[in-house]
Amino acid sequence: LEARLAAAGPAESDRWAALLAQVDSARIDTIHGLCASVLRANAAEAGIDPDFTVLDEAEAPVLLADVIDAELARAAAEGRPALALFAEYDDSAIRAILSDSALLATCPDLSPDVDLLAGWQQAWRDQCRALADALLAGIDWPLVDEIMATLPADDKLADKWRMCYAYLEQLRGDDVYTTFQALTGVSPGNAGSKKNWRDDALLEDARAALRSIKGVADAAVRAIGADAPATSPLDQRAAELIPLWVALVRRVRASYLHEKDRRAALDFDDLERLTCDLLENHAHVRGRYRGAEFRHVLVDEFQDTNAAQWRIVQALAGLDRPGSLFVVGDPKQSIYAFRGADVSVFGAVRDQITTSGG
């Protein structure tokens, strides 16, 4: 701007001088600095103390570690069931899991009467059924009928097709997983003699169709897994341990929230979550910024944006207002996944912008 002002003629100098004068009032900040300023200005709607302090990337982990220490000490003193976790995991692994901000934010409650193993078993059956139905729906049945109607009496490929057809019929029943396993063993190889089949084309079609069915069965077995949850020792043990994890995680979360409330403090995750809620659930607050106080928004290092931050940006300058949003980034430089950055957001937003003509 200074260079353009220096080079401007009398007709344009006022314009460049005015723009240069506005630089000092530009809102330039980190995403968390932006969140803090929006929350302080709308503390009543956000339901927070406007004089809150922000726990930075060094302070928040220290406070959380202290909370975890206190909760584990209480668990030991009270002999809580969660202590059984130490028989499966070492101390550092437990602390690492309890320090996962995403887990602390999303861990749901778990009713005592929930039967996890039964739920997993039903989900497993549903997956088996869905994969079986997909295989059956994708078969060229007119071709299969033609193959079965012309099978030679004494031929290895014909024998494999008789087995395959029987297994396909069994897939309509309940024992889907065992049937899929059986189908993986039916491989055409080079079976089939040209002299036994009425024409070479049908022989090749029979081999190709059998090879395709086996391929789908192989993929289904990989997707389903080696064991049903009801018979898997790992699943059975997981069903015992997950309620212990849920109870411990929720205790740590409650204690961490209490400590932050006591100090009137927010961490970076709180800033993002509360700002998302504020802008998305209070139209009058959003209207104060969108297209008004913030007419244009530029986001730098956009490859390090996560989903919550993108929701905030959209609330301030969405793609429905052409010219209001400019993002800069390079997905090859995304290095902050450990902080929650999600490079897939960059790709999705880039696609949205180009699709809409930007």
Lowest-pLDDT choice from 268-272, 328-332, 343-347? 343-347
Amino acid 339: pLDDT: 58
Residues 6+ apart with CB under 8 A from 203: 157, 192, 194, 197
Q: Which candidate, 56, 50, 41, places its Cα nearest to that of 264? A: 50
∠ CA 43-47-53, nearest 5°, is 60
CA dist 221 and 106 (Å) reads 31
Q: Which candidate, 306, 326, 329, places its Cα nearest to that of 101? A: 306
Q: What is the pLDDT of residues 87-124, one digit of tens each?
A: 999 999 999 999 988 888 888 888 888 899 999 999 98
pLDDT at 338 over 60: no
CA dist 348 and 182 (Å) reads 41
CA dist 292 and 128 (Å) reads 54
Beta-sheet pairing, 265-266 with 325-327: unpaired
DSSP 159: H
Average pLDDT, the chain: 89
Q: What is the pLDDT of residues 126-185, one digit of tens each?
A: 999 999 999 999 999 999 998 888 888 888 888 889 999 999 999 998 888 889 889 998
Name the residue with higher pLDDT: 268 or 199.
268
Amino acid 355: pLDDT: 87
CA dist 326 and 158 (Å) reads 64
Q: What is the pLDDT of residues 276-305, one digit of tens each?
A: 999 999 999 999 999 889 989 999 999 888
**Which tokens sit at 188?**
């055409």
Stated pTM of the model: 0.70
**Which tokens sit at 179?**
């049937």
Amino acid 290: pLDDT: 92
**Which tokens sit at 219?**
């993929």
Q: Are 82 and 75 in contact (CB under 8 A)?
A: yes
Lowest-pLDDT choice from 52-56, 254-258, 281-285, 333-337? 333-337
Q: What is the pLDDT of residues 260-269, one digit of tens each?
A: 999 999 999 9
Q: What is the pLDDT of residues 17-37, one digit of tens each?
A: 999 999 988 889 999 999 999
Residue with tokens 């302080």: 40
Q: What is the pLDDT of residues 312-324, one digit of tens each?
A: 999 999 788 888 9
| Helix, strand, or coil (residue 53) | strand
Q: Answer positive or negative: Cα dihedral of 50, 51, 52, 57.
A: positive
Q: Alpha-carbon dihedral of residues 21, 27, 28, 32, nearest 10 degrees? A: 170
Residue with tokens 């077995």: 221
How many Cα atoms within 13 Å fall on the side-chain side of residue 137? 6
